[in-house]
Structure 1
Amino acid sequence: MAGLLSPYDAFNLVTAMKKAVKVPIHLHTHYTSGMGSMTYLKAIEAGVDIIDTCLAPYALRTSMPAIEPIVAALQGSDRDTGINLYRLLEMSEHLEKIAPKYQHLLADQRLSIIDNGVLAHQIPGGMISNLTGQLKEMKALDRLGEIYKEVVQTRKDMGYPPLVTPSSQIIGSQAVLNVLFGRYVRISNQLKDLVLGLYGRTPVPIDPELTAKILKNYKRGQTPITGRPADHLPPEMEEAKKTIGDLARTDEDLLGWILFPQTMEKYLRAKYGIDAPA
């Protein structure tokens, strides 16, 4: 998700996987580091079956590689996609008319469309977008470079959790707080839950002194759990059944309502003809 897979690593990985399994190999990467298109090309040479791309107006930066040059590069080869390049160009032209609506969401504090720093901070594209949005709202976008560095340190402090949802957002949000208000002066409840162990055990143990500081007076506990996190959650199903009543007629209805109560209640009322669909 951070565009860290290098071209030759992709070639070797796909080559080995094609020998080991018979299912289609699907590769997803981002352009953040600038290696995305090269990585895809080497993976294609190795026999990858599926790659994820994006039409040019929304490609590159922290998004995915653009589809148009890949289709053009493969024309006439044994991996020719058969996709009509001119239709792609037409769609891209259409999106160019829409794209300005979202121009304000782009990080514009630097000229480069790649972030070579990702090779060090390893922040995935979606996380960078969220950080940029947060900082714009706080009028602190000029401190993005500091936050990239702080993400590396915060992640180390927290035992190197993987930078994927939800832990990536937890680490990113705490890094913002650390830069703007001082290190661990303000601590999010989500970070406290991570330190408490409710997201599972971190790859590396967290420093006991830092653990004590973060969990001090925390209402959910001050001592990290050592067992299965789900064992520490109160049972929800029976209470949920009482609350939703007969509106949930299947286990799927009930689980959906537990996850998205307001949306699911409207859906179920329409599904079973209690209310007319909106």
Structure 2
Amino acid sequence: MTAPTINGTRYPQPVEDLLPAARKLTADLGAVPSRNKLMTEFRIGAPKATELRALLLPTPAKPVAPRLDYAEPIDPNPLPAPVVPEPTPPVIADPTPEPEITPADPPAEASMVGHPDTPTLPTLAAPDRPAVVWPVVLLALPAFVAIWSGWVGLGGLTGFGVVHPLPGIWDSFSINSAITLPIGVETYGAYALYVWLSGRMPERARRFAKWSAIASLLVGALGQVAYHLLEAAGVASAPWWITTAVACLPVAVLGMGAALAHLVRSHD
């Protein structure tokens, strides 16, 4: 037997008659009831519950066209009212401008010793291992013997010999003055060659050392040639022009050595 509806009748009622009761149910629940809830509450079928629920849902508001204000009178094709820009107040310059704030210089990095004023030194690459020099010493020993004997022999042929440099003070002290030739000429040539090729001296000193080193080596070679030619020919006394050139060598070596020492300590 069919249960009575909300109006006391057993027959299905139209949706319009159920709408007030459904609105009251919505107010009691605080939300639109579901389709199943409406079917259970009002004993109606699914199609009618769907229709009833659709009536309970809020109707979306229709979009309202924006109102346009037109200047009077309104023409058939009205134009929007012209927009008048608002006046901008004049900018009054400040008679006392603010001083420019410059960022402070960053503090210098402290060095490894802890002094803030000392700049940090750049990291230097580890120096390469220097080349060994003992082969040069080995090569120089026989050259020293040959050069020493040649210059001393040439000095003997040109008037150099045993002298007493300290007469009245040390009469027994004597020295062969011929040794001044290899010591002066060859030592200066080696030192001038070092100044020229080191690259750590002033340019004027290197230029002077270059030409004087070449001249010293050439004079040394000529001295050796002269001695061996005179010795091979059995000459007991050298010609005057060879004696003159050999006698001037100590003075020339002294002058070139003093000039090179001054140039090495000078600035370009």
Q: Give TM-score, length-normalised by structure 2.
A: 0.16
Q: Give TM-score, length-normalised by structure 1.
A: 0.15
Give 1 or 2 for the bigger CA radius of gyration.
2
Point out the structure with the larger helix share: 1
